[in-house]
């Protein structure tokens, strides 16, 4: 007996510059709140700094700048950081500061849509698909394309 229902993916949603984004939950190691990090002098603008995660060094990137927003990371006293799992192709731990985390949602593959052409403020090479969710669009980030940038 074959299963004809669409497969489900889990997305971790989060807000950045007022926009709802999503990442495949499989690539997320953890969410850290109120982190402390060390800025790196003379680093490229997309690198915010380094943090210590239980003895592992994590490079923090400005996801807003990587996505093409003019204004990126804003210094606040409370930072929320998404730490991604490392992989055979990307051995170092990386993290992104976000405005606030959303939730983990189940998405059927038949709910995916191509990104709209008018997302010009966002680098649309990094947004592979969108999902309509309760009156909002979740912009799903292609992490492999993102990693190719650095």
What's this model's pTM, rounded to 2 decimal places? Answer: 0.82
In a domain, 80, yes or no: yes
In a domain, 137, yes or no: yes
**Domain range for 91:** 8-147
pLDDT band at residue 1 under the 50/70/90 scheme: very low
CATH code, domain with 27 = 2.40.50.180
**78/72 Cα distance (integer angstroms):** 16
The residue-averaged pLDDT of 10-14 equals 92
CA dist 46 to 22, 42, 70, 136, Å? 20, 11, 11, 27
Of 5-9, 11-15, 30-34, 109-113, minimum mean pLDDT range: 5-9
DSSP-derived letter for residue 113 is B
**C-beta of residue 34 within 8 angstroms of C-beta of residue 78:** yes
Q: Is the pLDDT of residue 2 over 50?
A: no
In a domain, 1, yes or no: no
Per-residue confidence (pLDDT) for residue 58, from 0 to 100: 92
Per-residue confidence (pLDDT) for residue 78, from 0 to 100: 72
In a domain, 3, yes or no: no
Each residue's pLDDT tens digit, 21-80: 999 998 899 999 888 899 999 999 889 999 999 888 999 998 888 888 776 666 666 778
Each residue's pLDDT tens digit, 101-149: 889 988 887 778 877 776 655 656 788 888 887 788 889 988 777 777 6
Structural domain total, the chain: 1
């Amino acid at each position: 007996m074959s299963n004809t229902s669409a497969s489900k993916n889990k997305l971790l949603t989060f807000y950045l510059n007022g926009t709802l984004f999503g990442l495949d939950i499989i690539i997320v190691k953890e969410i850290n709140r109120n982190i402390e990090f060390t800025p790196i002098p003379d680093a490229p603008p997309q690198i915010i700094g380094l943090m210590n995660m239980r003895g592992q060094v994590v490079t923090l990137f400005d996801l807003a700048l990587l996505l093409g927003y003019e204004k990126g990371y804003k210094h606040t006293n409370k930072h929320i950081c998404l730490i991604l799992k490392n992989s055979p192709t990307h051995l170092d731990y990386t993290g992104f500061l976000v405005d606030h985390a959303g939730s983990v949602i189940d998405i059927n593959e038949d709910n995916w849509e191509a990104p709209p052409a008018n997302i010009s403020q966002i680098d649309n090479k990094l947004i592979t698909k969108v999902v309509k969710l309760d009156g909002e669009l979740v912009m799903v980030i292609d992490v492999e394309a993102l990693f190719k940038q650095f």
